[in-house]
Structure 1
Amino acid sequence: MADHATSRGLDPQGYIEREGSLARIPRVFRPVVASARDRLLELFGGRLHSAYLYGSIPRGTARAGRSDLDLLVALQEDPADADRAGVRALGEAVDKAFPQIDGVGTLLYGRARLLSAAETYDMGWFVACMCTPLLGEDLAEYLPRYRPDSRLARETNGDLAQLLPGWRRSVAEAENPENSDEAADPAASEAARRRLVRFMSRHLVRTGFTLVMPRWNGWTSDLTEMAEAFGAYYPQRAEQMRAAALRGREPTADAAVLRSYVDDLGPWLAQEYARVHGVKSPRD
């Protein structure tokens, strides 16, 4: 395999290489992964088609006590509400049992949706390139290979404009938590703002990166590298994106940061994305 710094995450034919592997999982996280694997089998049994890891743990860059465990689960059929409740409870149990992780996030889909035409250049790409097989048959065998082109950019992150209204509601709730369950607990309110800053920062950096991805001609999941790639093409916004990359790793509880995302960087990025790549195809 070529060095990432020179290949920019592409194989010799110019396709995005799959990132992560079970071999790269740091030793401290291996009991966490084993527990999640066993619990998934117990929860779903024969209904489970496959399960995957993604994020910093299979990339080998996770930090003990700071990183979360990210899972994607594909069922034989479309998931029901009880299945979603089951994976939430599983995540809470694993998070409680292992202090070396800071939360568990699980994406839950049916096999047919992940292999559908509508998802080929969105969740299909995600499974094939961003996910590390953990259990079952690898869906990547049924998916194409992917180049860092405009179609991939559009279908992965071309929906920011649709997301912004919901983001604004979340920011308003974070700024005025008096009607929320966290109102009586300032520490919980601050933690909620940090989670929101972390999430929005990462999403904006990744969207900024995929905006320039076809010109940069490569793939990376490193937030700093993403921000630098973006800044090379949009120097007037480079500092904002570098700051967002930093907050994606070290989030602040400052509500003003959230407001700047939904009032300035987010709307500008959504408009520029639509101009360059168009908008994401509608989903059911």
Structure 2
Amino acid sequence: MDERGLAPDGTIAREGALDRVPAAFAPVVAAARARITETFACGRLHSAYLYGSIPRGTAIPGRSDFDALLALHEEPTEADRADARKIEVALDRAFAQIDGAGVALSSVRALLSDLERHDGGFFVACLCTPLLGEDLARELPRYRPTSLLARETNGDLGLLLPRWRARAAEAGTDGERKALGRSAGRIVRTGFTLVMPRWGGWTSDLDESTELFGHYYPERLGHMRMAALTGRTPTPEPAVLGTLLDELGPWLAAEYTAVHGAKTPRP
């Protein structure tokens, strides 16, 4: 992998690996592997993946969360989601080194579909680290930092903002506002993918993403730095959330659509 996150052939390199997991998080990964195997037995699970700072090797004990994706043979049911939530709760309670756990669910059919080729498929092939089962990346293409990839990964910010604003209006506690603050990380990633084709590479690092964005949009850099800080250390301060959701977010959504177009609608 070069300094732009690319393989020698110019495609985006997979960013994580099990041998990059920091020692402090190795017990979390081992426990997750065991719980996933036990919970999703009887042929439900095709494969499981880690993503985020833990497989990238940048996780910080007590601050980083644990993220996993399970690819099921069939479409996820409410029973599957309930089982995933049980794993999340068990991991979060058992390990002080993680600040929350998330277990996302999808199906093999969805992840390999044409509709998800440049979103869920890209996510598995480049941003996920295999943990269990047969790696779906073998059935997916190699990806390049194109406008198509930008559009399909983050071209839906305009749809998300009204939901986030509604949550902000309904939030009654600091905890609820902090949880919403984590969405700022998505704003930073959208800012990065806006400029990704021009830069010609891939990164998931919030700070690097922010500064790369600022190279092309220096007048918006201050707000994007605020988003990166909020994504790392969520704040309950309404004024910060207001700036991100009412100022930076709408501008970014409009600019994104102008440059790359809107994401293909999902059912």
Q: Shorter chain as normaliser: what TM range? A: over 0.9
Q: TM-score, normalised by structure 2?
A: 0.98
Distance in 1, Cα, partners of 2:160 & 2:88: 25
- How do 1:48-197 and structure 2 match up within 5 A? 48-174=45-171, 177=172, 189-197=173-181
Q: Give aligned pairs, total.
A: 266
Distance in 2, Cα, partners of 1:270 & 1:145: 27
Q: Does 1:258 align with 2:254?
A: no
Say what the alpha-carbon RMSD is for the aligned residues.
0.9
Which residue is equivalent to 2:27? 31
SS at match of 1:108: strand
Distance in 1, Cα, partners of 2:151 & 2:85: 30
- Which stretch of structure 1 is more off in the superposition, 206-215 or 165-174? 165-174
Please identify runs of 4+ aligned residues in structure 1 that moved more than 2 A.
none
Structure 1: gaps spanning 5 or more residues: 178-188
Which one of 217, 221, 237 corresponds to residue 234 of structure 1? 217
SS at match of 1:41: helix
Which one of 269, 272, 278 corresponds to residue 252 of structure 2? 269
Which residue is equivalent to 1:283? 266
Letter of the structure 2 residue corresponding to residue 162 of structure 1: L
Q: TM-score, normalised by structure 1?
A: 0.92
Is 2:47–2:72's contact at 8 Å kept on the other side of the alignment? Answer: yes
Is 2:87–2:103's contact at 8 Å kept on the other side of the alignment? Answer: no
SS at match of 2:40: helix
Shift of 1:223: 0.3
Distance in 2, Cα, partners of 1:263 & 1:244: 13
Task: Spell out, residue by residue over 1:56-105, the C-alpha distance to the aligned partner (whole angstroms, 9 max, x if none).
Answer: 00011001111110000001111100100110111101110111111101
Shift of 1:201: 1.3
Which residue is equivalent to 2:37? 41
Task: Spell out, residue by residue over 1:105-126, the C-alpha distance to the aligned partner (whole angstroms, 9 max, x if none).
Answer: 1110011000000000001000
- How do 1:203-218 and structure 2 match up within 5 A? 203-218=186-201
- Structure (1/2) with the larger helix percentage: 1
**% same residue:** 62
